[in-house]
């Protein structure tokens, strides 16, 4: 797969860069060492405030004190980026070191991966596909381009356990304490393979490969996690991403897992690093080359701009501080989500499925995702039936008795010939001198059915009912209508009921 900024093989060769993410074999040992050493220096720079300070004072001395191989001056443009230049411009700059160009090329390739992921994860099932596309569009408008860019809308995620042993104070999905694990027994293995086949048939082989096997869990809490991954690879043709926050507790196991990913052409795995001590132990235990395909995310307090989404426990904590008057309450459009699935969350311990979609965390959805429906299964057949019923419950067009409500996060503005709907991130205008203004008025009022609105517009301003249905469908397709499920709200942050679909 070609990757960066439309470069030809000849241009890449002149720049000394290669596409090594989608084709790991292209990364020979020298390339790996070069890239790995740069990444190690930058990891330390981003994670460690003392190192940053030392680096700005005397970078070479700092590198030698921290035992880093890469000469910081060789890659200064990557850590002392006053110029604000883009990765693409740095990558093409022959006056900079080849190591800078290689690092930029690899980073661009990783950004490209998100795009590929989002596109290929689109399911084959037409109704499900249309619903997911609406979630992609809505996310951009609700969350804004920057936050939405990180959401790949994966088709499913699987938990092989209950809860998580790590207990991060900021957990965006409020994982409960560690509970039961689904061990790889013959019965569980058989059920797992049946589920994978159902997912492959329903989503299509291209989409299904983009699922992954953790959610409000750390996958390494399950001692048999790797067995499940091997089945995933065998049946879906892809070795899924792992994210763990405890690599330093399972060094040999993680090394073996990374080797499995290497042999099976995995893409990127991730470490979530919570303390500086953890960084030290990771850097001691793993060589820079071993971590070449691992994105280590600095969550520790000394990190430069640690990335913490305001959702789940981070939101709870923030709200508690606001209640004490220590900080301002956070507006809903400034919260966030770590939910990157528009699809199924499957738990193999209690055999449940939830159909979810990401949103800004709020009082009703504190974990940063809607639960559209949920249900239970006990074998492959009931799993399949459940997924189909969940998808059948999704709209692909407006129905005559649907309540016509715009999304609660949208601002409404009535225009002479229509109306405008928008968020601080995006707005859309719907104009037509013939009845669009009146449709806007009914929309803003809310609560009427599509049939009632269509009939009134026909009587009042002579707009054919078919035209109103067409306009309402346009609103649906552009993600403007409120598609949150009906049901009781729950701000406990653990289990949020949507319409239940239990197995027969
Ligand atoms: S953020 Fe991840 S590792 Fe931390 S508690 Fe939540 S699920 Fe566990």
**pLDDT string in tens for the chain (504-residue length):** 455 667 888 999 999 999 999 989 999 999 999 999 999 999 999 999 999 999 999 999 999 999 999 999 999 999 997 767 889 999 999 999 999 999 999 999 999 999 999 999 999 999 999 999 999 999 999 999 999 999 999 999 999 999 999 999 999 999 999 999 999 999 999 999 999 999 999 999 999 999 999 999 999 999 999 999 999 999 999 999 999 999 999 999 999 999 999 999 999 999 999 999 999 999 999 999 999 999 999 999 999 987 778 999 999 999 999 999 999 989 888 899 999 999 999 999 999 999 999 999 999 999 999 999 999 999 999 999 999 999 999 988 999 999 999 999 999 999 999 999 999 999 999 999 999 999 999 999 999 999 999 999 999 999 999 999 999 999 999 999 999 987 644 333 344 455 555 554
Distance between Cα 162 and ligand 1 center (Å): 12
Distance between Cα 170 and ligand 1 center (Å): 8
Alpha helices by DSSP H, listed for 400-495, are: 436-445, 450-461, 465-477
| Per-residue model confidence (pLDDT) at position 305 | 81
Q: Are strands 411-415 and 369-376 parallel, antiparallel or unpaired?
A: unpaired
| Per-residue model confidence (pLDDT) at position 92 | 93
Q: How many CB atoms lie under 10 A from the CB of residue 484?
A: 16
Atom of ligand 1 nearest to the CA of 215: 7
Atom of ligand 1 nearest to the CA of 246: 3
In this prediction the pTM is: 0.93
| Per-residue model confidence (pLDDT) at position 486 | 78
| Per-residue model confidence (pLDDT) at position 113 | 93
Ligand 1 site residues (CB inside 6 A) read 164, 166-168, 171, 175, 216-218, 245
For the record, the structure tokens of 11 come out as 């241009």
Distance between Cα 502 and ligand 1 center (Å): 28
Q: Across the strands, what pairs with 431? A: 418
| Per-residue model confidence (pLDDT) at position 1 | 47
Q: Provide the sign of the torsion angle of the four alpha carbons 147, 229, 178, 346, taken in this order.
A: positive
Pick from 163, 170, 175, 306 the residue to mutate for probing ligand 1's pocket: most ligand atoms within 8 Å of its CB: 175
For the record, the structure tokens of 204 come out as 């299509």
How far is it, in rounded angstroms, from Cα 479 to Cα 142? Answer: 10
| Per-residue model confidence (pLDDT) at position 504 | 40
Atom of ligand 1 nearest to the CA of 216: 7
Atom of ligand 1 nearest to the CA of 217: 7
| Per-residue model confidence (pLDDT) at position 85 | 86
E strand or H helix that includes residue 256:
helix 251-263
Residue nearest to atom 6 of ligand 1 (CA): 171
Distance between Cα 446 and ligand 1 center (Å): 39
CB 348 within 8 A of CB 327: no
Q: Provide the sign of the torsion angle of the four alpha carbons 483, 489, 490, 494, taken in this order.
A: negative
| Per-residue model confidence (pLDDT) at position 308 | 78
- Provide φ and ψ at 415, rounded to 5°: -115, 165
């Amino acid at each position: 797969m070609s990757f960066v900024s439309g470069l030809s093989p000849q241009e890449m060769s002149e720049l000394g860069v290669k596409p090594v993410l989608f084709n790991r074999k292209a990364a020979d040992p020298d390339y790996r060492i070069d890239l790995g050493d740069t990444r190690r220096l930058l990891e330390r720079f981003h994670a460690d405030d003392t190192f940053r300070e030392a680096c700005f004072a005397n970078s070479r001395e700092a590198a030698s004190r921290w035992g880093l191989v890469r000469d910081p001056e060789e890659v200064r443009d990557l850590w002392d980026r006053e110029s604000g230049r883009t990765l693409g411009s740095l990558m093409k700059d022959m006056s900079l070191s080849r190591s800078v160009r290689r690092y930029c090329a690899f980073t661009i390739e990783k950004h490209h991966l998100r795009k590929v992921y989002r596109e290929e994860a689109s399911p084959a099932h037409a109704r499900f596909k249309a619903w997911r596309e609406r979630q992609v569009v809505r996310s951009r408008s609700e969350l804004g381009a920057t936050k939405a860019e990180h959401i790949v809308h994966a088709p499913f995620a699987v938990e092989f356990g209950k809860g998580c042993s790590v207990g991060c104070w900021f957990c965006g999905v409020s994982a409960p304490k560690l509970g039961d694990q689904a061990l790889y027994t013959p019965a569980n293995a058989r059920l797992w393979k049946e589920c994978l086949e159902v997912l492959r048939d329903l989503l299509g082989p291209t989409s299904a490969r983009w699922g992954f096997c953790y959610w409000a869990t750390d996958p390494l809490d399950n001692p048999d996690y790797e067995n499940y991954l091997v089945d995933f690879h065998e049946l879906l043709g892809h070795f899924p991403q792992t994210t763990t926050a405890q690599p330093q507790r399972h060094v040999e196991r993680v090394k073996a897992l990374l080797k499995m990913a290497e042999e099976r052409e995995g893409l990127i795995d991730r470490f979530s690093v919570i303390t500086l001590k953890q960084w030290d132990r990771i850097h001691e235990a793993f060589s820079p080359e071993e971590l070449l395909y691992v994105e280590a995310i600095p969550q520790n307090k000394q990190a430069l701009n640690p990335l913490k989404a305001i959702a789940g426990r981070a939101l709870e904590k923030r709200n508690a501080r606001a209640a004490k008057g220590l900080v301002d309450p956070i507006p809903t459009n400034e919260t966030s989500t770590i939910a990157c699935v528009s699809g199924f969350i499957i738990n193999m311990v209690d055999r449940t499925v939830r159909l979810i979609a990401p949103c800004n965390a709020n009082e009703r959805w504190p974990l940063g995702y809607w639960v559209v429906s949920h249900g239970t299964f006990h074998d492959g057949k009931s799993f399949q039936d459940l997924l189909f019923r969940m998808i059948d419950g999704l709209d692909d067009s407006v129905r005559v008795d649907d309540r016509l409500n715009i999304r609660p996060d949208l601002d409404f503005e009535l225009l002479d010939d229509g109306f405008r709907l928008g968020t601080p991130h995006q707005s859309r205008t719907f104009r037509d001198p013939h009845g669009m203004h009146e449709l806007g008025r009914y929309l803003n009022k809310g609560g009427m059915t599509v049939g009632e609105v269509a009939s009134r517009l026909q009587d009042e301003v002579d707009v054919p009912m078919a035209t109103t249905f067409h306009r309402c469908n346009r609103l649906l397709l552009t993600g403007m209508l409120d598609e949150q499920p009906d049901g009781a709200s729950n701000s406990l942050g653990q289990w949020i009921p949507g319409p239940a679909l239990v197995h027969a």
